[in-house]
Structure 1
Amino acid sequence: MNKRTRRACGAVLVAAGLIGVVSPTAVADAGASVQERQGRAGVGAALDELAGASGGGGVVLRVNDRRGEWVTSAGAAELGRSARPVPTGRFRAGSITKTFVATTVLQLVGEGRISLDAPISSYLPRYGLDRRITVRMLLQHTSGLFNYTGDVRADGTPDPGIPMWDQAYLDNLFRTYRAEELVTFALAKPARFEPGAKHAYSNTNYTLLGLLIENRTGTDYATQVESRILKPLRMNDTILPGTRTGIPGPHAHGYLTFQQNGKRKVVDITRINPSWAGAAGEIISTTADLDRFVSALLGGKLLKPRLLDEMRTWMPTGAPGASIGLGLFANEFAPGCTAYGHTGGTQSQTSYMYSTADGTRRVEFSVNHGVLDRADGDAIQRIAAATTALAAKALCG
């Protein structure tokens, strides 16, 4: 992480209690023509629904379909203010980072510098990893390694990781984590299951892949992502921030809400040290850049055909209608309507990036959470349903 201090800068869903902020619907139509709203009535309604479920936050949205491209926003960029989010602004895209990392790893496979089915321990011997764990298993989340941001025990009870929520998270908001530190922490916990036995999402897998890229290239993973993907695609608004705390340019604010001593506490956590996420989820981007990336990836511009086929070799995740490849998910958003991409989340933001196989329908959006208490199960269900509904309407009509 420290190497990047010189550089510019499965979704986390929490729940809601709205305190005297502007109604999301009141500003939802700003910047969108009546004709656009009427032509995409279902998408517009789903957009307003998600803004309404965000606890006073907002949504930035980009849709590409047979009508062309539609870029808009709804809700509020900041609690207590009426201004909607700038539709072209930046946001923390969280685990969408993983698709960039997976693409870089597969490019290195194509160059003969990595073997998908080699033990990761052959490249990173210092960690004493189980020799049955392969590079492919890390990419597909079948390693069984403990998730350093928190996991679940065999009996279904939570097994905490590094501080990720509430006051403990705030106390570590600007702490710098090193990738080696996070891996060592995770490996001190028992494996969740035998390598290759099943799928279970773990940020530890992609932190290790970031270290693998560094091992095989001599530079950190961010340098490789920048030179192999961001620069060739001219993704000028996408940033791998390292330890930089801010989001440059226009952006919405995100908040952490929790109960402390019987009172609700709401804290603006737009500025954070994202080193805890690293190769597993630090990326900052825009809907335009993410659209450029997913179009190039699925259009065969970043990977050779056999490697793109490897990325799209699916296994079930255990969730209805969801399968995983190598850093890429396939989700059936409606009967007969499957799209490919990734979601991302931080404590204060949830993002989607998906495209149909032929690229004719694509959606990218990000919702900034307002006053949302994750202990409120009903609100969690509302925002989860609303995010899925917006993706489904955009992709499936």
Structure 2
Amino acid sequence: MTKKKSKKLIRILLFLGTIISFYFVPWPIVTAWIMPLPNTVQEQIDKAADYGFDGIVVCVNKKGNQSQFYTSGYKNRENKIPATPNALFKIASVSKLYNAVAVAKLVWDGKLSLEKTLADYLPELYGRIEYADNITLRMLVTHRSGIPNYTDTYMYWVAPKETADENLALVLDKPANFKPDEDYEYSNTNYLLLDRIMNRVLGYATFQYIREEILNPLNLKHTFGSIQDVNIDDVMSGYYVGYDTDLKTNNIGSILTTAEDLSKFIRALNDGSVFRDKKEQEIYSSIYKYEHTGLIPGYQTIAKYHKDIDAVVIQFTNTVNFDGYNWNMSEVMYNRIVKILKKKN
């Protein structure tokens, strides 16, 4: 092949590659991202149906714990009940923030040690979880244990387990994903074990401690530890694309709260008022972060504090699929809301 023909072939292949790449571009996401910003948050929220969400609740918590609410779509689409600011929502992995604060408080009190091992606290797991005698409490909190994530087991979300024992059984006697503290990997099993450790040390349920030591001092009266503790009519419905059943009755171990309660907790976490003193806050800062997202079937949560505008922005969306499309759209929605707030600010 001559040099001239070779260059021509390369140009043709590059052209074809470009055409193919355009075919696979998620155009709805790109379109949503590049559209001009509306003037108000409510105008953006009103596009929720265009983004593929049945319902959305947004709380903007400003200085002085003053909250503004924005809703669109349905709390329950079957009965055409509009989304409401005070609906309870399953916040999934955002629950880890509460548990990490509880760990910090118990460490400050001397009831837990970050350097003690899983085998020290739960000796029955020695030989059932690899490296149990080397995995420290700190490694569990910071996701550096190497213990497999039970929600990553094959087809887990087709039929989620409802008890901690059932979830733990999915990873017992399985090899570690890596040696303790040699890598980072997000694992829900870590926090299942932390909950079990705190239950044993306290002699009662971890959420009771969270309520007494975190929620009550902050006057957060609309945060609950289980779907069993609430009036089901107060819970926002959750939907999975292609599956008609409302998922709100599924008991999958998530904390439920309102957007306002969550916003006040995130502010207290970031301004330090959830902690008793600087030492306790330093313990927390050494083990976990100050914002979180959550994703389970039917429920997506984004909870963050934005220092430059001194605002906590909470977003709940109640329609999910697991090819990533709905999550990407929720992030586009959230980022556009924050841009509008910063522009107004």
- Whether TM exceeds 0.5 here: the answer is yes
The alpha-carbon distance between structure 1 residues 219 and 251, as it changes in their structure 2 partners (threshold 3 A), is closer
Aligned match of 2:91: 93
Contact 1:118 1:135 survives alignment (8 Å): yes
Give 3-state SS (helix, strand or coil) of 2:281's partner. Answer: helix
1:267-320: CA deviation from partner (whole Å, max 9, x where unpaired): 21121122xx3xxxx10100111122122222223323123223234xxxxxxx
Contact 1:95 1:344 survives alignment (8 Å): yes
Give the AA of the match of 2:249: R
* Structure 2: tracts of 5 or more residues without a match: 1-25, 29-36
Give the AA of the match of 2:259: T
Aligned match of 2:219: 234
**Does the alignment pair 1:283 with 2:255?**
yes
Aligned match of 2:145: 143
1:345 to 295, 313, 322: 295
Counterparts of 1:99 and 1:349 in 2: how far apart (Å)? 17
The alpha-carbon distance between structure 1 residues 365 and 341, as it changes in their structure 2 partners (threshold 3 A), is same
The alpha-carbon distance between structure 1 residues 247 and 41, as it changes in their structure 2 partners (threshold 3 A), is farther
More strand by share: 1
Aligned match of 2:318: 368
Give 3-state SS (helix, strand or coil) of 1:126's partner. Answer: helix
**Does the alignment pair 1:307 with 2:292?**
no
Give 3-state SS (helix, strand or coil) of 2:112's partner. Answer: coil
**Does the alignment pair 1:60 with 2:7?**
no
**Does the alignment pair 1:160 with 2:134?**
no
Give the AA of the match of 1:146: P
State the 1:206 CA deviation: 0.4
More helix by share: 2
1:197 to 182, 197, 220: 182
Aligned match of 2:249: 271
Counterparts of 1:365 and 1:354 in 2: how far apart (Å)? 9
TM-score (norm 1): 0.68
* Equivalent residues in 2 for 1:1-397, closer than 5 Å: 41=39, 43-55=41-53, 57-65=54-62, 69-79=67-77, 82-128=80-126, 129=129, 130=131, 131-150=133-152, 159-160=153-154, 163-165=156-158, 169=159, 176-177=162-163, 179-241=164-226, 244=228, 247-258=231-242, 265-274=243-252, 277=253, 282-303=254-275, 304-313=277-286, 325-326=287-288, 328=289, 340-357=290-307, 360-369=310-319, 373-375=321-323, 378=325, 381-391=328-338, 393-394=340-341
1:17-56: CA deviation from partner (whole Å, max 9, x where unpaired): 9xxxxxxxxxxxxxxxxxxxx9x9353354334453234x
Give 3-state SS (helix, strand or coil) of 2:82's partner. Answer: coil
State the 1:217 CA deviation: 1.0
Counterparts of 2:329 and 2:111 in 1: how far apart (Å)? 45
The alpha-carbon distance between structure 1 residues 139 and 395, as it changes in their structure 2 partners (threshold 3 A), is farther
Counterparts of 2:141 and 2:255 in 1: how far apart (Å)? 18
1:353-392: CA deviation from partner (whole Å, max 9, x where unpaired): 21135882111121111xx5535x6555434433444456
Give 3-state SS (helix, strand or coil) of 2:237's partner. Answer: coil
Aligned match of 2:8: none
Counterparts of 1:358 and 1:379 in 2: how far apart (Å)? 28
CA-based RMSD of the aligned residues comes to 3.0
Runs of 4 or more consecutive aligned structure 1 residues displaced over 6 Å after TM superposition: none
The alpha-carbon distance between structure 1 residues 249 and 106, as it changes in their structure 2 partners (threshold 3 A), is same
The alpha-carbon distance between structure 1 residues 391 and 147, as it changes in their structure 2 partners (threshold 3 A), is farther
State the 1:147 CA deviation: 0.6
Aligned match of 1:321: none
The alpha-carbon distance between structure 1 residues 393 and 351, as it changes in their structure 2 partners (threshold 3 A), is farther
Give the AA of the match of 2:248: T
1:141-182: CA deviation from partner (whole Å, max 9, x where unpaired): 1111111111xxxxxxxx526x313xxx2xx6xx642x2342
State the 1:124 CA deviation: 1.1
Give the AA of the match of 2:157: M
Counterparts of 1:124 and 1:378 in 2: how far apart (Å)? 40
Contact 2:58 2:69 survives alignment (8 Å): yes
Give the AA of the match of 1:253: S
Contact 1:50 1:387 survives alignment (8 Å): no
Counterparts of 1:113 and 1:272 in 2: how far apart (Å)? 33
In terms of Rg, which structure is larger? Answer: 2
Counterparts of 1:388 and 1:188 in 2: how far apart (Å)? 42
State the 1:84 CA deviation: 2.5
Counterparts of 2:295 and 2:231 in 1: how far apart (Å)? 16
Aligned match of 1:156: none
TM-score (norm 2): 0.77
Counterparts of 1:176 and 1:349 in 2: how far apart (Å)? 17
* Structure 1: tracts of 5 or more residues without a match: 1-14, 18-37, 151-158, 259-264, 314-324, 329-339
Contact 2:39 2:340 survives alignment (8 Å): no
Contact 2:317 2:330 survives alignment (8 Å): no
The alpha-carbon distance between structure 1 residues 208 and 48, as it changes in their structure 2 partners (threshold 3 A), is same
Counterparts of 2:294 and 2:94 in 1: how far apart (Å)? 5
